[in-house]
Amino acid sequence: MSMFVYYLGLGWRSLRRNPVLTALMVMAIAFGVAASMITWSVFRVVSGNPIPWKSSQLYNVQIDNRGPQYNEPGNEPPDALNYTDAVALMQAHKAPHQTMLYDIAPSVLPQNANDLPSTTTGYATTADFFTMFDVPFKYGSPWTNADDDGHAAVAVISDALNQRLFGGANSVGRDVTLDMHAYRIVGVTEHWDPKPRYYDAYDNMEFANPAQVYISVNRAVDIHVGMAGRNNCGGAPAHFSNDEQWLHRECAWIPFWAELPTQADAERYKEFLTAYSAEQQQAGRFQWAPNVRLRNVTEWLDHEKVVPAESRISLFVSIGFFIICLVNTIGLLLAKFMRRSSEIGVRRALGATRREVYAQFLMEAATVGLAGGVLGLLLTIVGMQGIGLLFEPDVARLAHLDMSLLLTTLIVAVLATVIAAFYPTWRAAQVQPAWQLKSN
Amino acid sequence: MQIKPILAAMRRHKAGTILIGFQIALTLAIVCNALFIIHERIARVSRPSGVNESNLFVITSDWADNSSNDNIDAQIKADLTALHQLGSVQDATSLNSFPLHGTGWDNFIRMTPDQIHMTTDASVFLADEHTLGTLGVKLIAGRNFTPDEVQSLTIQDMKGWPAIIVSKDLAKVLFPNGDALGKQIYASNNNTPSTIVGITDTLQSHMMDSDDNAFAYNAVLVPMREVGTGYVHYLIRARPGQLEAAMRDVPKALIAQNRMRIFDPDDGEMTFAQVRAKAYERDYGMAILMGIVSAVLLAITAAGIVGLTSFWVGQRRRQIGIRRALGATRNDILSYFMTENMLIGVAGVVVGTLLAIGINLWMVTHYDVARLSGTYLLVGAVVLLLLGQGAVLAPALRASRVPPVEATRSV
């Protein structure tokens, strides 16, 4: 321990001896680590697994309902289902849990008639949505499958909307007016905002503000609650002239998810999807062989290319930048250590072992790394304020400073500097005491 | 200048030589690609929209009551009449989307009804007879829409589009011979043909993804008011110099028409300048980041060269003294260090060029990045070599001032 303090003191004194060189190294490490940490703070969120405990059991379903001539390369079917197929799969009930959903953006009337209406975003979906995606509830509970079957006018609202409309009180049993229609509130969710929002990557909502309302899809379709998401007819001519035809046209707009606990379940479900498509082929609706896809959460996020290219490129550039800063540090440490060859010679002649020389110089490098880390921390904090310049607001919001980021910054800075110091230290330890003493 | 002795001396301090060379190589690789990304982003940002953007703004009205499409259609008509009567407003139009908006409706354009693969893709702007005037886009051929041509449309009800106006670039893609006017194409989801009745000057689409670059100037104007989506965009051209007044007057006038509407506090009302800034914020961000990274990298590399060369000069004071004593001039010493740096620099630049090309090829395959042009490599290489020479100058001058008497000291 006393040696540790002694080396720390030696390191400190040596750093003060060439302040310019030291400042150079500290700044290089600080800039490198700060750039890496700022871009990492975004990347760790956009590339994260939003539901790690269940991501291999939740599957997105795709069915080719338009034919190979309209498909993406690789005969990739549309990324969402049309209404006909979604309803058929719901009714077949071949998975323990399954859900369909579409984006809605209804207006909400305030409880106080003098206030102005406002907009909300959310989903028309089914009861299983909440159990499948582990939505936490503050008050009440999800609606039931019976509510879905009965086309009930029920709603689940978010904590934020509950705060806005009811001042945070338990609103279960009260009514909420969405697009001029009344819905009975059955539950209020806790703040729930998985990022990326895997279950709605189809609508490019991965990083959107959290949803505020959920209503039963059967009811929504009955009363024509408008679809606010993406509708992809993929170039296939769509003939329709009324609502019923519009609903059943071959356009993709309904993400469909199934919960399949085991690999065997997933295989069985895929067989079912294939059989369903074959049935449709026999019935004459599909003029092509069954073409289905089943992707779990991570595969789905990958397929949807959820990580923005900007995030990846800026992370790579920052890491490249950090590496250059480290190469620079190796060079400067080498210069600094070798300049002290005679000092090393004297120490070795006086009985210091190679190991002690190692310890001393690595300690000195760690001091540089720590100083770089602290400065890098400050730069990271400043840089986080400017992150809005780099990413669109939805993504920029995700970046936040937390303890783990601060600790990582320090640890990465110290560790990287110590690793960079290995070669210069090894060279320093190779100094022959006799030669040094002779030449002076 | 003899190169052989320099190479021989380099062998004595391999590590430092390799480190500087490596640093130059990495810096070149990153700076080249960063500058290229900056260039690409700036090129994107500075492309024209075709819209006369000054004195123009957008207000988006969300409807609180969506229950009746007919009511909303009547409300849009009443809103537009009210807007046209405002003193600060020169012209106004309703649209489903607009240039640079990012979201909107694009349709595959086909030349025949049974064609399976699209000829091209284009923005569908559901417009009226005031759209061109409001946007400040000129008609270069044909005619504008007439007021009675404009109908209402819901996405559930797929009417044919008998008359459409297309942008110049779309007309050129569809009819390269320049005879698009009066021709029929298949642009709607309904399988009836649409006749091109007018061609506009340059007009950018709503599509902002780099995937859609090929369609960036493809736009189809259709004489329809869209209802049933829950919102409408009004584009409004203020009288010259009255943008602020118009942006105050318009929301009031609309609320007076009907208070059951919602203007989003964040982006409910935006000048077109704000629309543009929002559309390109990622590009600006990328360019700024790459600019900062390049500047700091060059500074750090220069500092690294100064540091290591200073160390070498300090280490070789005696040898320099001996050379000076044996008749070498100050210039000889100076050019020794300059040449040494140049040799390392050239080696670094060669490796760096290969690295830069490698990184670029990797980005080409993974992201929408174009091939790096040779100019960047050339400019980057020259910049780094000059940077190296500049950085080495101070320590080299110090070396050249080492007096010959140094040879006799400390032996």
With beta carbons under 8 A apart, name residues in chain A contacting B304. Answer: 24, 28, 327-328, 331-332
Residue A70, CB half-sphere, CA atoms under 13 Å: how many? 26
3-state secondary structure chain B: CCCHHHHHHHHHHHHHHHHHHHHHHHHHHHHHHHHHHHHHHHHHHCCCCCCCCCCEEEEEEEECCCCCHHHHHHHHHHHHHHHHHCCCEEEEEEECCCCCCCCCCEEEEECCCCCCCCCEEEEEEEECCCHHHHHCCCEEEECCCCHHHCEEECCCCCCCCCEEEEEHHHHHHHCCCCCCCCCEEECCCCCCCEEEEEEECCCCCCCCCHHHHHHCCCEEEEEEEECCCCEEEEEEEECCCCHHHHHHHHHHHHHHHCCCEECCCCCCEEEHHHHHHHHCHHHHHHHHHHHHHHHHHHHHHHHHHHHHHHHHHHHCHHHHHHHHHCCCCHHHHHHHHHHHHHHHHHHHHHHHHHHHHHHHHHHHHHCCCCCCCHHHHHHHHHHHHHHHHHHHHHHHHHHHCCCHHHHHCCC
Task: Establish whether the linkage from the previous residue to B113 is cis, with ω within 30° of 0.
Answer: no
The per-residue pLDDT for A239 is 63
Whether the CB-CB separation of B170 and B220 falls below 8 Å is answered with yes
Same domain, A149 and A242: yes
> Left (φ > 0), alpha (ψ -120 to 50) or beta: where does A94 sit?
alpha
- B296: closest CA of chain A, how far (Å): 8
Percent of chain A past pLDDT 70, that is, above it, reads: 96
Mean pLDDT of A233-248: 70
Tell me the residues of chain B between 68 and 107 that have a Cβ less than 8 Å away from chain A: none
Q: Catalogue the E-assigned strands of A205-338.
A: 213-216, 256-259, 292-296
The per-residue pLDDT for A169 is 95
Across chain B, mean pLDDT equals 90
- A107: closest CA of chain B, how far (Å): 5
Is the pLDDT at A235 greater than 60? The verdict is yes
The per-residue pLDDT for B218 is 96
Whether the CB-CB separation of B162 and B194 falls below 8 Å is answered with yes
- A268: closest CA of chain B, how far (Å): 34
Whether the CB-CB separation of B333 and B402 falls below 8 Å is answered with yes
The per-residue pLDDT for A265 is 95
What phi and psi values does residue B199 have, to the nearest 5 degrees? -130, 130
Give the chain A residue whose CA is nearest to the CA of B410.
A440
Q: Which of B387, B391, B386, B352 is nearest to B33 (CA)?
A: B352
With beta carbons under 8 A apart, name residues in chain A contacting B229. Answer: 226, 228
Same domain, A41 and A165: no
Lowest mean pLDDT: which of B54-63, B320-329, B331-340, B366-375? B366-375
Query: Contact A331/B367, CB-based, under 8 Å?
Result: no
B118: nearest CB among A105, A109, A235: A235
Same domain, A77 and A90: yes
Burial of A246-257, coded b for 16+ CB within 10 Å and e otherwise, reads: bbebbbbbbbbb
The model's pLDDT over A268-303, given as tens digits with 9 standing for 90+, comes to 999 999 999 999 999 999 999 999 999 999 999 999
- A401: closest CA of chain B, how far (Å): 19
A351/B180 Cα distance (integer angstroms): 92
Is the pLDDT at B153 greater than 60? The verdict is yes
Whether the CB-CB separation of A126 and A217 falls below 8 Å is answered with yes
Q: Which of A411, A429, A431, A425 is nearest to A363 (CA)?
A: A425
Q: Catalogue the E-assigned strands of A209-337.
A: 213-216, 256-259, 292-296
Q: Is residue A53 part of a domain?
A: no
Q: Which of B394, B393, B388 is nearest to B21 (CA)?
A: B388
- B359: closest CA of chain A, how far (Å): 10
The model's pLDDT over A305-334, given as tens digits with 9 standing for 90+, comes to 888 888 888 898 899 899 999 999 998 888
Give the chain B residue whose CA is nearest to the CA of A311.
B286
The per-residue pLDDT for A161 is 95
The per-residue pLDDT for B223 is 95
What phi and psi values does residue B90 have, to the nearest 5 degrees? -90, -45
Q: State ipTM.
A: 0.80
Mean pLDDT of B348-370: 88
With beta carbons under 8 A apart, name residues in chain B contacting A246. Answer: 155-157
Q: Looking at this protein, which amino acid is placed at residue A19?
A: P
Band (pLDDT 50/70/90 cuts) for residue A236 is low
B293: nearest CB among A317, A331, A335: A317
Whether the CB of B30 is below 8 Å from some CB of chain A: the reply is yes
Q: Which of A251, A317, A382, A431 to mutate to test the interface with B (most CBs of B within 10 A)?
A: A317
Q: Is residue A164 part of a domain?
A: yes
Q: Which of A104, A302, A304, A324 to mutate to test the interface with B (most CBs of B within 10 A)?
A: A324
The model's pLDDT over A380-404, given as tens digits with 9 standing for 90+, comes to 988 888 787 777 777 777 777 888 8
Q: Is residue A52 part of a domain?
A: no
Name residue A177's beta-bridge partners. Answer: A182
Tell me the residues of chain B between 201 and 260 that have a Cβ less than 8 Å away from chain A: 228-230, 259-260
A54/A260 Cα distance (integer angstroms): 10
Q: Which of A119, A233, A387 to mutate to test the interface with B (most CBs of B within 10 A)?
A: A119
Same domain, A264 and A326: no
Whether the CB of A176 is below 8 Å from some CB of chain B: the reply is no
DSSP state of A214: E
How many CB atoms neighbour CB A223 within 10 A?
13
- B240: closest CA of chain A, how far (Å): 31
Give the total number of structural domains in chain A. Answer: 2
Band (pLDDT 50/70/90 cuts) for residue A440 is very low
Task: Say if strands B194-200 and B184-185 run parallel, antiparallel, or are unpaired.
Answer: antiparallel
Give the chain B residue whose CA is nearest to the CA of A204.
B103
Q: Which of B317, B90, B124 is nearest to B229 (CA)?
A: B124
pTM, rounded to two decimals:
0.83
- B400: closest CA of chain A, how far (Å): 20
Q: Which of B27, B75, B107, B156 to mutate to test the interface with A (most CBs of A within 10 A)?
A: B156
Whether the CB of A440 is below 8 Å from some CB of chain B: the reply is yes
B130/B90 Cα distance (integer angstroms): 10
Query: Contact B190/A239, CB-based, under 8 Å?
Result: yes
With beta carbons under 8 A apart, name residues in chain A contacting B300. Answer: 27-28, 31, 324-325, 328
Domain ranges in chain B are: 4-45+282-408, 65-259
Is the pLDDT at A226 greater than 60? The verdict is yes
- A430: closest CA of chain B, how far (Å): 14
Q: How many residues does chain A have?
A: 440
The better pLDDT of the pair A109, B59 is held by B59
List of residues 6+ apart from A401 with CB closer than 8 A = A41, A380, A381, A384
The per-residue pLDDT for A395 is 78
Query: Contact A69/B264, CB-based, under 8 Å?
Result: no
User: Which of A303, A335, A351 is where one domain is finished?
Assistant: A303
User: Alpha carbon A333 to chain centroid distance?
Assistant: 38
With beta carbons under 8 A apart, name residues in chain B contacting A180. Answer: 64-67
The per-residue pLDDT for A237 is 61
Mean pLDDT of A351-372: 88
Query: Contact B158/A238, CB-based, under 8 Å?
Result: yes
The model's pLDDT over B67-83, given as tens digits with 9 standing for 90+, comes to 788 899 999 999 999 99
Can you give the residue range of the structural domain that contains A86?
A: 58-303
Whether the CB of B295 is below 8 Å from some CB of chain A: the reply is no
Name residue B93's beta-bridge partners. Answer: B235
Band (pLDDT 50/70/90 cuts) for residue A241 is low
User: Which of A268, A287, A303 is where one domain is finished?
Assistant: A303
A119: nearest CB among B190, B262, B367: B262
Lowest mean pLDDT: which of A111-125, A150-164, B233-247, B322-336? A111-125
Mean pLDDT of B314-326: 87
Same domain, A66 and A170: yes
The per-residue pLDDT for A150 is 96
Band (pLDDT 50/70/90 cuts) for residue A116 is confident
User: Which of A303, A321, A337 is where one domain is finished?
Assistant: A303
Mean pLDDT of B285-314: 88
B12/A176 Cα distance (integer angstroms): 81
Query: Contact B65/A338, CB-based, under 8 Å?
Result: no
Q: What angle do CA A386, A389, A393 make, to 5 degrees?
A: 105
Mean pLDDT of A3-26: 80
Give the chain B residue whose CA is nearest to the CA of A31.
B296
Is the pLDDT at B411 greater than 50? The verdict is no
The per-residue pLDDT for A119 is 87
Band (pLDDT 50/70/90 cuts) for residue A166 is very high
Same domain, A317 and A174: no
Name residue A184's beta-bridge partners. Answer: A154, A175
The model's pLDDT over A15-65, given as tens digits with 9 standing for 90+, comes to 787 788 888 889 999 999 999 998 898 898 889 899 999 999 999 999 999
Q: Tokens for A198? A: 């895997």
Lowest mean pLDDT: which of A255-269, B83-97, B125-139, B314-328? B314-328
Percent of chain B past pLDDT 90, that is, above it, reads: 61
Q: Is residue A341 part of a domain?
A: yes
Percent of chain B past pLDDT 70, that is, above it, reads: 98
Lowest mean pLDDT: which of A45-49, A411-415, A429-433? A429-433
- The CA dihedral of A208, A211, A217, A219, to the nearest 10 degrees, is -130
Whose structure tokens read 């074959």? A278
Across chain A, mean pLDDT equals 89
Q: How many residues does chain B have?
A: 411
